[in-house]
Every structure is written in structure tokens, then in C-alpha cells.
Amino acid sequence: MVFSLDVKIVGRGFKDSWLIVGLPDAGLVGAISAAHIVKALGLEAIAHVESELLPPVIVVHQSRVYDPVRFFGREGLMVLSSEVPVHPSLVYPLGRSVIDWAIKEGVKGIITITGIAIPNRLDIEVPEVYGIAGATELSDVLTKANVKSFEEGFVVGPAAIMMREGIRRGLPSIMLLAQCFLEYPDPGAAAQALLALNKILGLEIDVKPLLDEAEMIRVRTRELMKRTAEALKQMKKTHEYEVPLMYT
Amino acid sequence: MFRRRMLFQSISDLIEELREEVDRLTSLIEEFDEPMWDARECCLTPLSSIRDLGDEYEVVVDLPLVDKGKINVYVEGEDALKVEAEIKEKVKFERWGTIQRSTEFSRYRKVIRFPEPLDPTSLRVSFKQGFLIVRVRKA
């Protein structure tokens, strides 16, 4: 069977908006964050991703059929969210297509939210959030928002490729990484990432409902976490525990 | 000498690839064979992970919506750990699926099998942030 590697984004974005990317990754930090932004701000679906590299899935909600990877938005803010894990074979073509689309739609910049797994997460009450800036002026943005800089290390997964493509294409790019569990949904880490996002963009997304519902979110996202953990294993996510050779 | 080293390296790479493929296929079989819920028993399957610490295993089980006193852990047979826990508020997914939507899930249940026998007298259990942590020695 031959699959096409094409990834098509169908729909229009909002010019001069920030694009927040929250895909399933370690602790589902990005996915939980993206879902919460969409719910908290009541964002409407504006575009979707079409690709034969996606699993053969449709999402049925209130008897209507939707694509599993969608963009939501309003003037000033858009969110990319996925209800299915990103398979390793989709990481590169999806990253390129999202950045192409973002540039074509004239977005202001891209902020990817992801988790950085730590083995002792159970001993940490409030996870730290770190930032990576794609350009010097964005480092200042992170500093002003009191987001610590992620100094050294590996980042593996869809967020990493999205960030790299953004930088290569000259799109202002920021990555937020919240300390999290690798293979358990982590709404607490997502809440901390959103508090950092609030400071960076001057938003007022209320994370209290997310923290209040944390246990139920953990119940509801078990299946997505299980499938995401399998995809992360194939991407060698545990690479993030290692020290890069060039800087030792 | 160099050729022999290259040959060992190739065999080692091949074994690693085979292991990964077996892991991948096993996980696919598990996904198809085991949904993470049982509507008849009103049970949900929790997420869990296992770490081999040499002479013992550490098992972590994610048990949200559970009180510490409502968990039952024991060694079943020689080589399995069974975890059962009561969910403090019944979970219902009103708009999800066909069978599940009418089910009220009230318990977690998970049986974790190990490649070797366990010492049932060695169980050490703790509960933190809604996670059950079990340490059990190899027999």
C-alpha cells in the first residue's frame, strides 16, 4: 500500500495572530493546554489538517463529523490541537505544512507548548516552565514574563520540529516546556504552561477549572496518553534525559 | 579483528531492531485485545508503568479519583500483580461511544504480569498525588 506524504491544511487563519501549538506529547501537556484554551476562550474551528499519514479516524461530536487535527481561533489568537497522537512519519511533513500555512496566513508568531519529562515528577508539587526563544528579541519577551530559559539539552517530538521549521523560515518562534510525567497525563503541568503563556501574551486564561478538573482529565485522557506514549517511544523521547555531546 | 567487530555490531543492531519490532507488534496486539474499560464489570483500566530495579520491580499506577484506603493490591498466582481500586465518584461518559455512554464506571482494575515469579511477602505500597507506587521483590 502506498501512502501520500502530503499534508494539506484546509481553511483560513487570522492575520497578525499568535499561533499556539499544543499537540499530544509527554504528559499530554500541549494537548491538554490547547484543549483548555479552546474551551476557556470559546474558540471556533477555523481549519483542519488532511493527510493520509493520520490514523483513519473521524471525531464525532454532537452527531457531527470533524477532523481530528484542527485549528481554532479568533482575531489575535489561534490554536492547533489534535485528538490523535502524531505518528513519527507525520512529524516532519506536519511541521513544514503548519509553518507554511502560518506564514501564508500572516501570523505574528508561533508558540509551541510541550512537556519535558522528568523522572522525579512525583516529588514536585508545582512544575517549572522553561522557554526557548527562536530569536534574541524573543528571549527578552521570555525574561519579562519571568520564564526561565531552557539552557541545554535535547527536545524530541513534534514541538521540536515545529520550532526548528519556524526558525528556519524566519517565523518568530517560542517553545514553552513544562516539567511533567512522560507517560501519564499531567494537567498540573499544563496549568503552569498556560500561566506562562498568559504572562507572555497578556492573556487571562483561568487555569482554576483545569486544576479543579485535573483528576477527571486524567481519567478521560488515558487512551490518548497510551497511544501517545507508544509514538513517543518510537521517536526516542527518552533522549531528552541525555546530555548533548557537543556541549559536554 | 575490525571485520569481526563490524559483524558483532551488525548483529547487535539487528537484535535491537527485532526487539523494537516485537515491542511494537506486542503493543498493537495489546491495543486491539484490551480496551481500557470493561462495561460489564463497570471497570476502567488505569495507566501503569514498570521499572526493573534488579532484585525488585517498581510499579506505578495512575489512580485519579481514588482514596488511599480504597485500594487493594496483591500478588496473584506467582507472577502477576493485581490492583483494584474504588473510584470515589462514579464516572460516566455521557456522549462517548455506544455501550460506554450508558455505563457508570465505579472501579479500576489492572493485572500486571511479570516475566518471573514475585515474592508476595515483599510488597511495599505508597500513594502520592493519586499515584500508587508498588515495590515487589523477585522470588
Percentage of residues in chain B having pLDDT higher than 70: 76
What the block records as the C-alpha cell of A236 is 526516542
Please give the pLDDT value at position A188. 97
What is the spatial order of strands in the sheet that B37-38 belongs to?
Answer: B37-38, B43-44, B105-113, B80-91, B66-76
Which of residues 97 through 126 in chain B touch A, CB cutoff 8 A?
Answer: none
Q: Is the pLDDT of residue A93 over 50?
A: yes
Burial of A183 from C-beta contacts in 10 A (0-12 / 13-18 / 19+): buried
Tell me how far apart the 2 most distant CA atoms of chain A are, in Å.
55
In sequence order, which residues have a C-beta less than 8 Å from that of residue A104 and are 6 or more positions away? none
Q: What span, in angstroms and rounded, lies between the C-alpha atoms of A90 and A235? A: 11
What the block records as the C-alpha cell of A143 is 525574561
The answer to whether the Cβ–Cβ distance between A234 and B24 falls below 8 Å is: yes
Q: CA nearest A126 in B: which residue? A: B129
Residue-range domain boundaries for chain B: 1-33, 36-137
CA of B29 vs chain A CAs: smallest distance (Å): 13
The overall average pLDDT reported for chain B is 84
Q: What are phi and psi of A219, to 5 degrees?
A: -70, -45
Confidence of residue A152 (pLDDT cuts 50, 70, 90): confident
Q: Is the pLDDT of residue A110 over 80?
A: yes
Q: Give the residue carrying C-alpha cell 535535547.
A: A154
Confidence of residue B102 (pLDDT cuts 50, 70, 90): low
What's the pLDDT tens digit per position in B26-37?
Answer: 554 454 557 888
Q: What span, in angstroms and rounded, lies between the C-alpha atoms of A159 and B3? A: 41
Please give the pLDDT value at position B91. 82
What the block records as the C-alpha cell of A127 is 512544575
Please give the pLDDT value at position B18. 73
Burial of B85 from C-beta contacts in 10 A (0-12 / 13-18 / 19+): buried
User: In whole angstroms, how far apart are CA B9 and each of A52, B3, B4, B13?
Assistant: 36, 10, 9, 6
Q: What are phi and psi of A241, to 5 degrees?
A: -75, -10
Confidence of residue A130 (pLDDT cuts 50, 70, 90): very high
What's the pLDDT tens digit per position in B107-123?
Answer: 999 999 999 999 999 99
Between B97 and A235, the higher pLDDT residue = A235
What burial letters (b/e) apply to A112-128, b meaning 16+ CB within 10 Å? Answer: bbbbbbbeebeeeeebe
Q: What span, in angstroms and rounded, lies between the C-alpha atoms of A138 and A79? A: 20
Mean pLDDT to the nearest integer, A180-194: 97
Q: Which ranges constitute the DSSP H helices of A150-221?
A: 158-168, 187-201, 208-212, 214-220
Q: CA nearest A221 in B: which residue? A: B47
Q: CA nearest B130 in A: which residue? A: A215
Between B67 and A4, the higher pLDDT residue = B67
The overall average pLDDT reported for chain A is 92
CATH (residue range B36-137) = 2.60.40.790
Q: What share of chain B is helix, strand, coil (3-state, %, to 5)?
A: 25, 45, 30
CA of B10 vs chain A CAs: smallest distance (Å): 20
Confidence of residue B137 (pLDDT cuts 50, 70, 90): very high
Q: What span, in angstroms and rounded, lies between the C-alpha atoms of B136 and B139? A: 9
B17 touching A, CB under 8 A? no
The answer to whether the Cβ–Cβ distance between A216 and B95 falls below 8 Å is: no
Q: Are A141 and A174 in contact (CB under 8 A)?
A: yes
Amino acid at A27: G
Q: Is the pLDDT of residue B50 over 70?
A: yes
A62 touching B, CB under 8 A? yes
The answer to whether the Cβ–Cβ distance between A216 and B91 falls below 8 Å is: yes
What the block records as the C-alpha cell of B42 is 463497570
Please give the pLDDT value at position B23. 59
Mean pLDDT to the nearest integer, A167-193: 96
What's A11-247's CATH class? alpha beta
Q: Which of A28, A17, A14 is nearest to A86 (CA)?
A: A28
Which residues does chain B have within 8 Å of residue A214's beta carbon, measured at their own beta carbons? Answer: 64
User: Which of helix, strand or coil describes residue A143?
Assistant: helix
The ipTM estimated for the assembled molecules is 0.85
Q: CA nearest B129 in A: which residue? A: A122
Pairs of CB atoms within 8 A across A/B: 44
Mean pLDDT to the nearest integer, A91-111: 95
In sequence order, which residues have a C-beta less than 8 Å from that of residue B80 and are 6 or more positions away? B111, B112, B113, B114, B118
Q: What span, in angstroms and rounded, lies between the C-alpha atoms of A78 and A227? A: 26
CA of A201 vs chain B CAs: smallest distance (Å): 31
Please give the pLDDT value at position B31. 46
